[in-house]
Structure 1
Amino acid sequence: MASGVPEHEVWAAADAVLARGERPTVERVRTELGRGSPARVGQLLEQWWEQLAQRLKGHALLPELPGEVAQAFTEAWRLALAHADTTAQAALAEEHNRLFAEQTTLTQERKLWEIALAEAKADLTESANKLAQAELQGAERQGLIDRLAAEVADVRQQRDHLQAQLEHRQTELNALRAEHATVQAHIRTVEDRTHQQVDLARQEVKALSQQQERVHREHTKRVNELTAQRDALQTAVRAAEQTAAHQAGQIAALEATINQWRRTQTTGTKRVSHKTPSPATSKVRERQKKATR
């Protein structure tokens, strides 16, 4: 409410209340005005009562009154003034208490706002420090990511190079295996031919045995020729077996090189199991042992 209400409006409102036959009080005058603080209205209402007393003494409203009536009216006026003063003082005390309560509330709210502002500043400082720390960590992590990306690219390049070497070695291994298969086929062909020739020689020996008495010399010559031929064939077989053994050694060495290269590509925690020799290599080694015997 506005506190600067003019005094003439307060006096007019008091006159209106009095004209209705009611005693002007602070609340009634404020209700009549529709505004004004209790302190301001109470102060002006006291002035109105003083002015009303002067008006009554000067016979402004009642110019002529009997002495007893005037004395009674004066006493009533005095009581009204005393009551108005009491009412005004109560209103002033109430307004003062209300203002003090509002001031206390505002002081408490101000302290709360100051505490909240200090906490907000502390939070802001902490957030700024955390942000700076996060940015520093982000920069460090970005550097780590860049280094890891470079290492990954280098590892991929090495992997591609090793993959190409592995494919080349695999091609060589396939070629050696094909050559080994060809040699094995040739050895089997020679063996089959030798067996056939031995069988033929046996048949001829049997036939010659039946003619031993008649052609002893021819039989002996023939046996010698067959024996020489057999030795030659056995020599050829041994040479072929040695060639196959040499090729099998080359294949085993190449397989060992490939296995060694594969072991260098692993993490170092797994062991590569030893490969068993291929059936063809075992067969060649067995034949070498028999030939040595």
Structure 2
Amino acid sequence: MASGVPETDVFKAADAVLARGERPTVERVRLELGRGSPARVGQLLEQWWERLAQRLKGHALLPNLPGEVAQAFSDTWRLALAQAAIVAHAALAEEQNALFAEQTSLTQERKLWEIALTEAQTNMAESAAKLAQADAQLRERQVLVDQLEAQRTDLLQQRDRLQEQLGRQQVEMDDLRAKHNAAQEHIRAVEDRAHQQVDQARQEIKSLQQRLEREQRDHHKLVTQLSMQQDDLRNAVRAAEQVAAHQTGRVTALEATLTQWRNQAPPSKRQSRKGVPEGKGKPRNRAKKIPP
């Protein structure tokens, strides 16, 4: 609430409270006003009480009345003044007590505010230190932000270059993909031809294997026949060797016999044979047939 409430408003509020038949107090006047601090209202309420006494004295100046009536009215007025003075003193004491309580409350509140102010000053000093630190950190972060902004610009440029490279690589990738597809088609065609050739080769190999098996069987038969013939030839050779050895023995024996016979012939015959021409002196004996 505002503490600078006008005194006329306080006086009007006190008159309204008194008109309702209630004793004007600080709380009642504040309630009537709806604003004002207790100290301000209490100070102005004291002035209202002083002015109330003056207003009551002004009403005591009455016109000339009969003696008894004037005396009775004067007695009544004095009683009213005395009662008003008692009420005023009681109200003043109450107001003083209220003011003392308000001052005590204000003193305590002032101490609390001083403590709060001290804490606030301490907090302010700490806040100032923190603010200076935060300012330093802010400058450091601003430098970091500038560095990051430079890095961001560099990264954006790198991103643009990479996007260009990516575009070129995408074109190259499409070209390679087309070549790859063509190569795959060629590979499939080659594989198909290779499969056909493999099948044909398998058939030829199968035919060759069958032919080889037949030739191997024929070869085996031929080897068997040749082996049998070789055995027969070996037997024949052994038999011929035996016959030849037998004939050689007989020839050797005959040659030895002939040599012995020649050595035992008469010398006259040898000499007579020297004078005879060769071919004429030889007898025409037929060689004996040597039996096998």
State whether TM-score is above 0.5. Answer: no
> Highest Rg: 1 or 2?
2
- Using structure 1 for the length normalisation, give the TM-score: 0.32
Looking at both structures, which has the greater relative contact order when contacts are Cα pairs under 8 Å and sequence separation is at least 6? 1
